[in-house]
Amino acid sequence: MDLLLIGGVSGSGKSVALAALEDAGYYAVNNLPLPLLAETLAHLAGLGRDRVAIVLDVAAATGLAGLSSAIERARGDGWSVRFLYLDAKTDTLVKRFSETRRRHPFSGATRTLTEAIEHDRALQADVRPLGLTFDTSDLPPAALRRWLKDFVSVDASKLTLLFESFGFKHGVPLDADLVFDVRCLPNPHYEPALQPLTGRDAPVIAFLEALPEVERMYGDILHFVASWLPDYARDNRNYLTVAVGCTGGKHRSVYLAERLAHAFASRYQVQVRHRELG
C-alpha cells in the first residue's frame, strides 16, 4: 500500500500537488489533522484504497508534532510511506498571496504576511528532514505536475539521484542536498550562435566538450558524488538532490546535469530537472 504524505508552507503548491496525484490514480485527502491519520488509513484500507495521497493540516492545533512516529506506525501497518515537503522562497510566497488575495492561515492582527510565512516555516523545521523537499519557487503548475509524475514513478525503497540545473541569478534551490558552482567555466551565452540554445542542444554540447576545464569539472563532480553516495545510502535516504548551477541555468549547468545523470543511470534510479527551462 502506497502512502504519500504532503506537508510544507502555505502557498507552496500543495493543492496543485494533490490534484496531480489524484490524476495519477491516488485517493486524495486534503488538510487532514495528523492525529486522525491512523484512523483514516485504517478506514481507507478497509475500502480497498491502496494508493493514498494526504495533505496534512499544518494549521491544526497539534501541527505536525509526532509525524515521525506516525510514519513508523503507518509502515508497521503495511504502508509504504513517503513524505513530500513543499517550500518556496518568501518573496515568491508573498507574491502568490498578494495576487490571489488569500489570507495566510497564520496571519492576523499581530503578524504581517512575511512574519506569518516565517512562522509557518519555523513550525515545520523539525519535520522537513523527514522527507524530500520540492522547491516550487517561480515554478509553473504544469512543471510541478511533471516533477510529481516522475517522483511517484520510481521505486521508493531505493535511493534516487536527482540532478537539478539552476541559475544562480534566480537563487539556489531550497531542495538541494549538494550544490556545485560551475560559473567559472566559459559561458556559451556569449557566443551569438549558442545564446538562444540550451545545454541539451548539440552545438552547445560540442562547444563545452572541446574545453579541458569542462572535462575536469565534470570529472571532479562525478568523483565526489560517486565517492560519497554509499554514505548517503547508509543514512537511509530515499532521495539525493545534486544541484549544478551556472549564471542563467540554461547552458553549462544543463549540460553537466544531463551528463552526470547519464553516467549514474546504469547503477541508480536517476531523474533530471532543469529549473530555468520550466
CATH numbers and ranges of domains, the chain: 2-153 (3.40.50.300), 161-277 (no CATH)
CA separation for the pair 206, 274 (Å, rounded): 20
- Give the pLDDT of residue 64: 85
Dist. CA 206–CA 214, nearest whole Å: 11
Q: Average pLDDT over the chain, rounded to whole?
A: 90
Question: What is the per-residue DSSP string for 126-166?
Answer: TTGGGSEEEE-TT--HHHHHHHHHHHHHS-TTS-EEEEEEE
Q: What is the pLDDT, as a whole number, of residue 196?
A: 95
Task: Identify residue 64 by its one-letter amino acid code.
Answer: L
pLDDT the model gives residue 142 = 84
Which pLDDT belongs to residue 146? 84
Residue 170 has pLDDT above 70, yes or no: yes
Helix pair 14-23, 141-153: axis angle to 10 deg: 50
Look at residue 145 in the predicted model and tell me its pLDDT: 86
pLDDT digits (tens, 9 = 90+) for 30-79: 999 999 999 999 999 999 998 999 999 887 767 788 899 999 999 999 99
pTM summary value: 0.74
Q: Calculate mean pLDDT across residues 196-224.
A: 97
Q: Which helix (H) or strand (E) holds 271?
A: strand 269-274
Task: Grade residue 278 by pLDDT with cuts at 50, 70 and 90.
Answer: low
| Rounded percentage of the chain residues whose pLDDT exceeds 90 | 60
CA 130/CA 81 separation, integer angstroms: 11
Taking only the tens place, the pLDDT of each residue in 104-156 is 888 876 788 899 999 998 888 888 888 888 889 878 888 888 888 888 877 77
Asked whether the predicted pLDDT for residue 277 surpasses 80, the reply is: yes
C-alpha to C-alpha distance for 35 and 32, rounded to whole angstroms: 8
Q: How confident is the model at residue 103 (pLDDT cuts 50, 70, 90)?
A: confident
* pLDDT bracket for residue 236 (50, 70, 90): low
